[in-house]
Amino acid sequence: MITRSAIIFFIVLFGLPVVIVGQGLNGQMGYEGPDPSTRINTDADKSIIHVTSRIPNLRFDSNRGILKVVKLSSGDWDVLVSPGTHIFKIVADDYESLVLPPFNYQKLKLYEIRVSPKIFPQKFGTTSGRGSLYVDTDPSGSKLVLPDMEGEWTTPKHFKSIRAGIWTLIFTHENYDTLITEIMVNKDSVVHPPPFKLSPSFGAIAVRSSAAAQIFIDGLLATVGQNYVTQTKRGSHDVVLRKNHYDDYQVTVEVGRGDTAVVDAELVPKFGFFEFTGLDGATIWLDSRLIGGIGQVEADTGMHRIRITHPRIGDQTKMYSIAKAQTTTVRASDFEEVGILNISTDVLADISIDGKIIGQNAATQNVMPGNHVIDINHPSLGRKSMEASIYPGQRSNMFISMRPVRSTAYWLMLLPGANQLYKKQTTRGYLYAGAFAVSAGASAYFLLDYLKKKNDYDAASAGYRNATLNAETAKYREQIESLYDGINTDAKMRNTSLIAAGAVYVLSFVDALIFPPEFGYRGDKTSGINVGLNSIGDGIKFEFSMGL
């Protein structure tokens, strides 16, 4: 017959907590000790009680309090108490509390206490005879030991012939509590109870995360993902989810026997989001990074530069701020709609808007609403400028002619060299203008000098006629002769200068008739601006004459 010590051996062998059922009995704990240990206690102010047991999850208490409990390994604890007399209490799930007698625990000492479950003995009546017993467990596949019978079996098990009496059944199964129960087998009876349900000794933790992350259980990396389920021991467990650019998610969960602790983790990003709406077809830069078109983009918190290029917006940049885990919306309406400016000219010349060259001869440009300076530069025709007012969503058509106006050129023929200078024939223009100015100026000078000398000549002649003395007569005669020669010289030079001025005038006039401008006259087309009142389409035409 198997003794009580053998039953304890089986329980210790399987190393699982014991639950006694049937007839309302709970498991009981036995102990040995406290005995002095060979280990050395180096803490001068404390006494250490070293507890070993195959019963898991022991809890300790004392009438004088516990200083600290250190779990060395599974079934191995160091309990630190203050020196003195303690009534030590040990508690475990599904067991009656074990209270030790008062004992004086001394400082610098270490004591050993060994705790084990108690097993009830078999009970058989005096009636001889045999019956049949069929047992099973939920789950099946449990190990079965009958302390009063040699052997070990696996459920389900049918004992076709077994002695009548009360039998103790010990069921063990991995990850389940050991179950000890009693059952009565009567003579000539068949006993077939329902399956004995075992209680799980483990629970589970189920993690569901809003984003894939590293999942740590009690400081150890369990997996990287968004969903995770793991079996774990009962008790408290620390769960941490960690992901780059997100705040760590930390929680402590309590796992009970057979329970699943669910962790729903909402990871909070350290960054925010930009969302772009109404910007189909746009090219978008976030700071210096090209991010493409519409959608949602992550960005660090703080201020950011958003640059948009779009047919209706042009190329614009704005500053936006973003907060942690918040979404900042960038809308097309945040940006002012540009105008469209079409510029053309009648010669191949550089076209500039606000000092920036955009093309030659003809160019189309999206420009911000407001006033803009348009420049046309030609190497021989020079530079012309005008100002245009541009409005949101409107098309403005501008034609600027660099060629001279025919009528203006004809009127300028009356002034030597002016026609040529107007037509950008600068060499001949300056030559005619200079020659005419010199000859006309000379004519004026000699004419004035002639008139002055003529007056002096007339005065000298009157004096000569009225003179009474020979000396006065001689004086006036000399003056008259001198002035006469000067008058004749001035008259000749005046006439020569007038002839020269007339010749220059005629040459300039003939030159203006014979030699047209290098690029021709402007013709019927005049400079001006067409401003569209609709976003794309015809509009009101405002004429700005660029001619003289």
Q: What is the pLDDT of residues 258-281, one digit of tens each?
A: 788 899 999 888 888 888 887 877
Computed over every residue of the chain, the mean pLDDT equals: 80
Query: How far is Cα 447 from Cα 449, in angstroms, rounded to an integer?
Result: 5
Residues 429-473: tens digit of each pLDDT: 899 999 999 988 988 998 898 888 888 888 878 877 777 667 777
pLDDT band at 294 (very low <50, low <70, confident <90, very high): low
Poorest-pLDDT segment among 236-240, 363-367, 425-429:
363-367
Residue 358 has pLDDT above 70, yes or no: yes
Mean of pLDDT values over 287-299: 78
Q: What is the pLDDT of residues 147-173, one digit of tens each?
A: 778 888 999 999 999 988 888 888 988
Where is pLDDT greater, at 12 or 457? Answer: 457
Please, which pLDDT band fits residue 118 given cuts at 50, 70 and 90?
Answer: low
Of the chain, the percentage scoring pLDDT greater than 70 comes to: 87
Cα torsion through 104, 110, 114, 115, rounded to 10: 60
Condensed to tens digits (0 to 9), the pLDDT of residues 58-96 reads 899 998 899 999 988 878 899 999 999 889 999 887 677
DSSP-assigned beta bridge partners for residue 382: 378
Q: pLDDT: is 481 or 89 the higher one?
A: 89
Predicted pLDDT at 156 = 94
CB 178, CB 170: distance < 8 Å: yes
Categorize the per-residue pLDDT at 242 as very low, low, confident or very high, splitting at 50, 70 and 90: very high
Listed as own residue / partner, the contacts of 219-227 with beta carbons closer than 8 Å and 24 or more positions apart are: none
* Cα dihedral 389, 391, 395, 400 in deg (nearest 10): 0
Q: How confident is the model at residue 239 (pLDDT cuts 50, 70, 90)?
A: very high
Mean pLDDT, residues 292-311: 81
pLDDT of residue 27: 64
Which secondary structure element, helix H or strand E, spans residue 307, and what is its range?
strand 302-310
pLDDT at residue 10, as a whole number: 42
What does the alpha-carbon distance between residue 101 and residue 400 come to, in Å, rounded to a whole number?
Answer: 114
